[in-house]
Amino acid sequence: MTALSIGDNRWSKKNPAPPAVRHSRPGWRCSVRPGFGLSQLRRILWPRAARSRCPFGIATVLELPLGANASVSTDSLISTDVARAAELLREGRLVAIATETVYGLGANALDERAVARVFEVKNRPHFDPLIVHIADGQWLARLVTDVPAAARQLADAFWPGPLTLVLPKSNIVPDLVTSGLPRVAIRMPSHPQALELLWTVDLPIAAPSANPFGQLSPTTAEHVAATLGDGVDLILDGGPCSIGVESTVIGFDDGAPCILRQGGLTQEEIEQVVGPVQSRQNPASGPPESPGMLPQHYAPRTPLTTTESADLTAGSALHQSLAGQRVGLLLLEPAHSLISGFEAIEVLTTDGNLREAAASFFAALRRLDAAGLDQILALPFPDEGLGRALNDRLHRACHR
C-alpha cells in the first residue's frame, strides 16, 4: 500500500488536504509544546551587544515565548529549561540545542575535553572541523584575529541567521575545534531559544548537527533522542527547525568570499551584498576546510539515488528494473504520473516552494528511511535558491 505524505504535519492553513495527505508549512504547526505559549513577547536583545562593542552594529527584534516556567517532558532528557542547559554546558556536559537550521550537539567550545566528547558521541572523524556559535560581537573579537571587509558586510546583513564565516582563529580556540586548521567557523544563530541560551551561558558553543556522523540531520528534539539517546546530557526543545538545512559556510581567499557549503542562506542573497562569489564545495586535497565538505554526508541508511522524472514513467528501463523491490520516492511537488508503483512517497510541497521544501526535507527522508524500503529515489531540485543546498544534500547522501 502506498503511503503518501506532504511535509510533516497534519493540517493545511487553507484548502485542507485529503485524509491520506499530511501537509505543513513553517510556522503553521498546530501542536503546542510545554513552556511555549501562544502569546509572544517582543524583546530587543541587542543593547547588550552594543555594551560589548559589537563590531558590526547588529540590531534586531526577536520573538520569544512568554512561558515563565520551563518544563520537562515525561522523558526527562527533553526539556525547555534554558538555565539548566547553560549550567550543564558550563560543567563540560553536552546539550542538544535547536537552531533555525538543524539541531546541534552543543559543548563549551573553549573546553577541549567537552569538545572531544562531541566527536566521541557523534563518532565524528577528528579531521572534520566544528562550527562555533556565538551571540555577542565581543566573542567574535576574542575568537578570531582578522575579519575581512566582506565578512563584516555579510555579518551586518545576515547575523543572526544561517550564515557561517570561516576566519583566522585566535589562540583561545582549541585546535580540536578546527581539526588543527588555522581558521575557525563561526555563526550567530537566529533561533530565539538558542540566542537566549548563548546569552545565559556567556560562552561560545561548538555545535555540529546532533546526529551520528554522516547520517540525516535532526530537525526536532525527537529526532535527536531517537539517534543519540543518552549520549547527550540534555535536549533543549525549541520546536521544529524553521529552515531545515544547515547554514551556508563562507570562506575568504585573500579577502574574497567563497561558498564552501551551500545552506540556508542562498547564493543570490549573498551576492546582493558582496557581488559574485565563487563556490568550492569539495576540498581540492587534504582535510575539509569546513563542515559539510566530505563527499558522503547527510545520508539515510537506505540506499538513495537521484533520477530524472522521465526515468520513472511506466515502461522506462529504470521503472522495470525496480519491479519486485520496495521503493520510496521523494518529490518537490505532486506529479501524478509518477505516484504508481512506489511503496511510499514523500511530497515536500504543494506548489514547489523551496523554503517549505527545505524545512521538510530531512524529516521526509527520515520517514522514508524508517519505511523498510530497499531503495529511495529522489528527483533533483531546481538549481537555484535553496534548491542548490538541497541538491548538495542529495548528492552527498547518494555517495557510496
Burial (CB < 10 A; 0-12, 13-18, 19+), residue 38, is exposed
Q: What is the pLDDT of residue 284?
A: 56
Range list for CATH 3.90.870.10 in the chain: 40-279
Task: Give the residue range(s) of CATH 3.40.50.11030 domains in the chain.
Answer: 298-398
What does the alpha-carbon distance between residue 171 and residue 93 come to, in Å, rounded to a whole number?
23
Tell me, what's the pLDDT at 27?
33
Question: In the CATH scheme, what is the homologous superfamily, with its name and number, of domain 40-279?
Answer: DHBP synthase (3.90.870.10)
Which of 86, 174, 181 has its CA nearest to residue 135? 86
**CA pair distance 238, 32, nearest whole angstrom:** 11
**Cα–Cα distance for residue pair 208/103, rounded to 1 Å:** 8
Q: Is 193:99 a contact under the CB 8 Å cutoff? A: no
- Confidence category of residue 309, pLDDT binned at 50, 70, 90: confident
Comparing 279-283, 321-325, 360-364, which segment has the lowest mean pLDDT? 279-283
pLDDT (0 to 100) of residue 8:
40
Residue 277 and residue 377 in contact, taking contact as beta carbons nearer than 8 Å? no
Q: CA-to-CA distance for 275 and 228, rounded, in angstroms?
A: 41
Q: At the topology level of CATH, where does 298-398 sit?
A: Rossmann fold (3.40.50)
Spatial CB neighbours of 206, under 8 Å, sequence gap ≥ 6: 106, 107, 108, 109, 115, 118, 130, 131, 132, 133, 177
pLDDT, the chain, mean: 81
| Residue, of 297 and 268, whose pLDDT is higher | 268
- Output the pLDDT for position 76: 80
Buried/exposed code over 278-307 (b: 16+ C-beta within 10 A; e: otherwise): eeebeeeeeebbbbbbbeebbbbebebebe
- pTM of this prediction? 0.80
Beta-strand relationship, 95-97 and 104-108: antiparallel
What is the pLDDT, as a whole number, of residue 363?
95
Beta strand 104-108 pairing with 205-206? antiparallel
